[in-house]
Amino acid sequence: MNILISPFPTDIPQLKTTNFISWHDVDFSGFLSLHSLFNFAQETAWKHSEELNFGFKKMSDAKLAWVLFGMRIKIFKSLPGWQEKLIIQTQPKGITGLFANRDYRMLNAQNELIAIGSSNWVVIDIEARRPLRLDHVFDSLRFVHNPINHVSRLKPRGEFPFLLNTYTVKASDIDLYGHVNNAKYIAWISDLYTPEQLKNHPLNEVLVNFLQETRFGDKIEIYADNVENQGKVRYKMQRKNDEKIILMAEFDWK
């Protein structure tokens, strides 16, 4: 993914947003929280999809919806603090299988690169709740021939011996599509640890696969292969009533 350190190619549409960091965007450290970073990245993707004429309204009219499947972010420098600015550059990179690929470069107000990211999106039929082949929906999404997919598929291999929390989905977790917003899952993982643990072991890189929808009232069990946030830790979330895996993640803590 380090190829994203270089500026985006200029022959492919891109969008740059400048985002002001408000009080509710930061955590106990006074710097941008990880789940707020996910929210800003998602919002930037939405804005660009509107510009490219496959945004929320067009999709809704066709009974379709964009759903985030996977996200990977690598952090190089401190995230912006309260009342500072976060610049996000985003660019679609084409189709791999069912996925539309979108990359990100994140900078501070001094124009220094602080993080890079990549994401996979799928289009679902709202009524059938099933993904569709993207080349049957948008020919114009093929911005790059043979694009690189930077978001690996995580497999539930090995053991996850530690049940760290069981969370009941609340109304405040639900987004406009009626399911849990992706950034909420990131907040749930952060909430597994104390402020002291998070301060001593900040995040280097995160990879997440969003596998199933969750809705109001669902009970979600959060498992990990390590009880501490040190080094690479793998997480598995599953719905308690049917044991379906709804998320796989790997966090690389410093």
Distance CA 222, CA 217 (A): 15
* DSSP, res 25: G
pLDDT band for position 251 (cuts 50, 70, 90): very high
Which is more confidently placed, 139 or 127?
Answer: 127
Residues 6+ apart with CB under 8 A from 55: 46, 49
What mean pLDDT do residues 71-96 have? 94
Question: What rounded mean pLDDT belongs to the chain?
Answer: 91
Q: Residue 251's beta-bridge partner residues? A: 206, 233
Select from 2, 7, 33, 9 the least CA-distant residue to 145. 9
Q: What angle do CA 35, 7, 143 make, to 5 degrees?
A: 85
The whole-angstrom distance between residue 122's C-alpha and the CA centroid of its chain comes to 13
pLDDT tens track for 190-248 = 999 999 999 999 999 999 999 999 999 999 999 999 999 999 999 999 999 999 999 99
Domains and CATH numbers, the chain: 2-141 (3.10.129.10), 162-253 (3.10.129.10)
pLDDT tens track for 173-194 = 999 888 999 999 999 999 999 9
Tokens read off for 227? 């009880």
- In this prediction the pTM is 0.93
